[in-house]
A and B are shown apart, each in its own frame.
Chain A
């Protein structure tokens, strides 16, 4: 049987652009049909921005690769029309167990608060994720949206200009040229775009190798994240076991630095390692094996004129914490609405600098967290190992040491504290909804707050008066009026009011808070709209 990742999903076909005598200029070209490139393209197409996606391949991800998807990216995918298939197919989990040597030292529950539509985490192979995105592209095409994926279109040269970029593209039928008013590079950690433009990518290299194996087996391990420090079957190193759909299990084994990668990848060397972990008599089949090393690094800025970088091309983290694909989707969530406003002439180009500022802030947070996890999991000195082992020994019997155990701080969305788009906080309300925060979900009868917020500017009023519609210099803001008195769960009050009797929030299209006050003030909210769109 062919695996899904062995079948072309967007086979090459000739585009009329290839027969044009002069290069066609497209409003937006995305390089890379991975999760981030497709996410960006779908977001823009839904907002009626015509978009062309170029990919040097024609298939979805080879192997499972990114497998953990957090709540916020699932909420973003809901807005992109792909959240439901992800959750339907994915494996939900919230319980993790931590082992040290031969002992289980403790377990943790990510325990999502009530009143969120989406779970804390699902596990799903990246190839399914990409398949759902490609399906969504097909759906949008059927609705008449201008979105296309061009397989086997490899960009071989890029020219950056003041008001456009030029592309030379190789195809199975020869090269052609294309122009883009805006170019979004989602071409991964080794981004050819970044290299062709000679841009920096600076950070820290971690001298370690990890064997990643997907095995298919009928096993009665529970749906939990199991993490081992220094287990008997991989002495001195770490290991991770995680369940994916279709009885596929993800196994990560730390191998150390000084190894022969090609040798280690051979089934005759992988299988004994897995048997030592799973037991001699467990039947399994290897689906995919890879060896990875990693770096934590980012570009200095994610916008270079008309070229925008998103996902791994802009920033790279260690896999601990699932902060790669999850943060990439938050990049495109931040970028798409801003680019739409700029293309429509409703916001100045400078708004796109806030994309770089806000997402650099997010990348810094992810790099900090994933570097710290890596330092805990793979101690770099004798003393760092002694302290690490002391934490683990104490954690078995003493609660106080458990917060110090760092087997990956799992991805949470970042708050854009200090962003130039925020107004100063004018509500003595909850921390979690201060300006810059991603809106936390709340169950509203049979519906959810995030679904009602959608993807446009919204004025959220809670027990406060305000006009139903404000238009400020081309930006329309519609009101969503709620009352804490009708919310029997108390979550609306807890997350948006605190001790205040009323509140008015200006919420951006990416569902981050731009401003909040106890009541509506026309001048101040008009100023907040201008600020959130880069106009002051």
Chain B
């Protein structure tokens, strides 16, 4: 089983974050929510490993 990586892993983190915000520029709340949902599904499919995904859901839930 591969583990969920919770260490810094994105080179150019600021650029990535700016790109994420830019994707939402000018969108209504409804369209932004839909974009986030599509993005989530695209990323989840790329990861594909159910144990990693379950772990990620747990981490996200515990971090609020």
Contact = CB atoms under 8 A, between A and B. Distances in A.
Interface in B10-41: 33-34, 37-38, 40-41
Interface stretch (A244-252, A276-284, A393-401, A493-501): A393-401
14 contacts: A386-B33, A387-B40, A387-B41, A389-B37, A390-B34, A390-B40, A393-B34, A394-B38, A394-B41, A400-B42, A400-B45, A401-B41, A401-B45, A404-B41
Interface residues of B, number: 8
A394 B34 CA distance: 11
A389 B41 CA distance: 11
Contacts of A400: 42, 45
Interface residues of A, number: 11
B25 to A, nearest CB: 19
A391 interface: yes
A389 B34 contact: yes
Interface string A51-81: 0000000000000000000000000000000
A390 B42 CA distance: 10
Nearest to A400: B45
Contacts of A386: 33-34, 37
B41 A391 contact: yes
Contacts of B45: 400-401
Nearest to B42: A394
Given A390-B37, A394-B42, A401-B41, 8 more contacts: A387-B37, A387-B40, A389-B37, A390-B38, A391-B41, A393-B38, A394-B38, A401-B45
B21 to A, nearest CB: 19
Contacts of B38: 390, 393-394
Interface string A369-386: 000000000000000001
Interface in B34-62: 34, 37-38, 40-42, 45
3 tightest A-B CB contacts, nearest first: A390-B37, A400-B45, A390-B38
Nearest to B39: A390
B62 to A, nearest CB: 18
Contacts of A389: 34, 37
A393 B37 CA distance: 10
Among B33, B37, B40, B45, chain A packs the most CB atoms within 10 A around the CB of B37
Contacts of B42: 394, 398, 400
A387 B36 CA distance: 9
A398 B39 CA distance: 13
Contacts of A393: 34, 38
Contacts of A401: 41, 45
A350 B38 CA distance: 52
Interface string A31-46: 0000000000000000
Contacts of A394: 38, 41-42
A396 to B, nearest CB: 11
